[in-house]
Amino acid sequence: MFGYIGKIMGLIKKDGFKVVWQKFKKKLLYFRSFSIYMKKHTPCDDELARQREAPEYDEISFSIIVPMHNTPIEFLKEMIESVINQTYSRWQLCLADGSDPQNSNVEKCCREYSKKDSRIFYKRLENNLGISGNSNAALKFANGSYIALLDHDDLLHPSALYECAKNIAENQADVVYTDEMTFKGTPNHVISIHFKPDFSPDTLLAHNYICHFFVCSRKLQQRVRGFSQAHNGSQDYDMILKITEIAKNIVHIPKVLYFWRSHPGSVASDVKKKPYCMKAAKKAISDHLKRTGKEATVSDSYVLSTYKVDYKIIGNPKISILIPNKDNISYLKKCIDSILKKSNYSNFEIVIVENNSEKNETKNFYHILKNKDHRIKIVKYDGKFNYSKINNFGFKFTSGEYLLLLNNDTEVISPNWLEEMLMFAQRDDVGAVGAKLYYEDNTVQHAGVIVGIAGSAGHSHRFFPRNSSGYLHRMSIAQNLSAVTGACLMTKRKVWEQMNGLDEKFEVAFNDVDFCLRLRKAGYLVIFTPYSELYHYESKSRGYEDTPEKQRRFSKERNMFRERWKNFIEMGDPYYNPNLSLSSEDFRIEI
C-alpha cells in the first residue's frame, strides 16, 4: 500500500498533480468501459441455449491443448469447467501434466473430470518436459480437425468454440483468432481488453498480438511438426508465426472469447518475471525471417515484450524528397536544415516545388539553397494550389528509386529517419511507409491513419503524449495500417507510377488516404513506423474550414472520399476493431 502511495507521489513530483490526475481519470474511464463492455456483450441464457441447439458441423471438431505444471487446483477446475460449459459440444480436452511428483492433487482432479466426461483426456508425464514438451505430449492424443491452445489457468467464454466453428464454416478458415481480456481474481475484475486488428504480418513481428484464443486446422499444425523446444516460453508465438506463413485464410473474430488470468508469477501480471520468454520470442522472429528469406536483425523495442525488426538495406538507393512550398521560409529553412544536418543517410535529392510564392525573400532563399547543396533542386509550378497536382508535377523532376512526400513544415528528429522507412519500402510487398509526427508541444500529430473515424479518416493516437506507448503498445511498434499521412510518406518510384500518383480530384484533403487505399486494393501493405520521427508544425487548431470556400472544398472532397470508399468504410478498417470508437482517435471502447 505504502509503495503504491510512494509511486503516486513520485509521479506527481515528476509530472505535476494535474497531469497525474488526468491520467488517473482516463484509467478510471477505461476500466469502467471494460466492465460495461463485458456486461453488454455477455450472452443471455436464451442465446446460449440457442447456440447449444444449433446444428453442429460434422467436419469441425476441436482438440484443446493444455500443457500443465503444478496448476493451482482452483484455477484448474475453473479452466476445465469453462471447456465443459462450451455451447459447441464437438471438442476434446487434451491435458498433459508435468507436475512435480508430490503434487498429486492435480492428477486426482483431472482423473475425476475424465471419468465424468469422456471428452477429457488426461496423461500424467513421467517428467516435466517444459511448456513445449508438455504441449507436444498433449498433441499426441489430439484427434480433432482443429487444434486450439489454452493455458492451464485461463478460461474460455462459453461461446468460444461455437464462434470459432461458425467462422471456420462460413469463411473456409484454416486459422481463427479472437479478442481477449485480462482479469485478476474473477472475470468481473477486468484489467484490460485487447481488441485486435485483422491479420497484420508486420504487427505480429512486433509482438504476439494474436496470442489467445488461437485455433488452426490440424493439417496446418502437423505441417509445422508441433511445438519447438528451442522456443520454450514463446513456443505459441513460434507456432503462430510458422502457421501464418502457410495458412490460406486467417480470420479474426472481433469478440472477447478468451479470459487471460493475471496472478503472481504469471506473464499476464508481469512479463519481467519470465525474461526467457522474450529471448525465445526474438529467436522465433529471427527464425521466421530466415524461413521467409528476409535478411534482418531483431532487438527489444521500447516496451518489454515488443520487438523491432531491422531489415538490411539493399544497396544505396537514391531517395527523392519532394517538398511543395509557398513562402513560409522560416518553416522551410528549419525543414531543409534538419534534413541536411541530421540525416545519416546521404544518397538523397530534395526537389522543392515552388507554388506561387509572393515574397522576394523566398526567391533569395531558393538561390541560397541551390548554392548550398548540389542535392537541392527548385522547380516551379504556376497553377493554383492543388497538393496532388503539385506532387505529380514535382515527381517528373525526380530521379530516385524511392519517393518521399514531405511537408515543408516538418523537422527531422531521428537521424536514421530515412533508413527506418527505406528498409520497409524496399520490400516487394510494401506500397507505402509513414513516420511518427509530433506537434511542437511533443504530443502526437500522426501515428497512422484509421479509416472510418468521423465517417472518413482520422489520425491514430492524436494528442497522446510523445512518451506514451498508446493502446496496447500500438503507438510504439511498427505495424500494418490502412493508410498513413502524406506529410511524410515514402513509396517506390515504380509503385507511384503504377498508381499514377495522387488523384488530382483531391486538391487538398484525403489524397494521401486515397493513395494508400488504392495501394491496399492493388495488394500492397502500408506500414507505420514509430522509429522515424519528425515534428510537424501543423497548428492543432488549423483545419480546412478557415473560410467558406475552404469549407466547401473540404466537404466536397470528404464526400467524394466517402463515396469512393463507401464499401471499405462500411466494412470497417481491418487494422482497427469494430469494438473501438469511430468518434474519437484515442482507441476508446464503443459502449
pLDDT at 92 (0 to 100): 98
**Nearest residue to 357 (alpha-carbon basis) of 366, 346, 345:** 366
Could you give the 3-state DSSP secondary structure of residue 509? coil
Q: CA geometry: angle at 200 spanning 199 and 206, to 5°? A: 130
pLDDT at 17 (0 to 100): 64
pLDDT at 166 (0 to 100): 97
pLDDT at 120 (0 to 100): 98
Low-confidence ranges of the chain (pLDDT < 50): 1-2, 4, 268-270, 541-544
Give me the sign of the Cα torsion angle 332, 334, 340, 345: negative
pLDDT at 2 (0 to 100): 43
DSSP state letters, 123-187? EE-SS--HHHHHHHHHHTT--SSEEEE--TT-EE-TTHHHHHHHHHHHHT-SEEEEEEEEEESEE
Which H helix or E strand runs over 21? helix 17-40
CATH number for domain 319-571, candidates 3.20.20.20, 3.30.70.20, 3.40.50.620, 3.90.550.10:
3.90.550.10
DSSP state letters, 452-466? TGGGSEEETTTT-BT
pLDDT at 103 (0 to 100): 86
pLDDT at 263 (0 to 100): 65
Domain boundaries 45-296, CATH class: alpha beta
Could you tell me how many helices (H) and strands (E) the chain has, helices first?
19, 23
The DSSP 8-state label assigned to residue 483 in this structure reads B
Which H helix or E strand runs over 13? helix 2-15
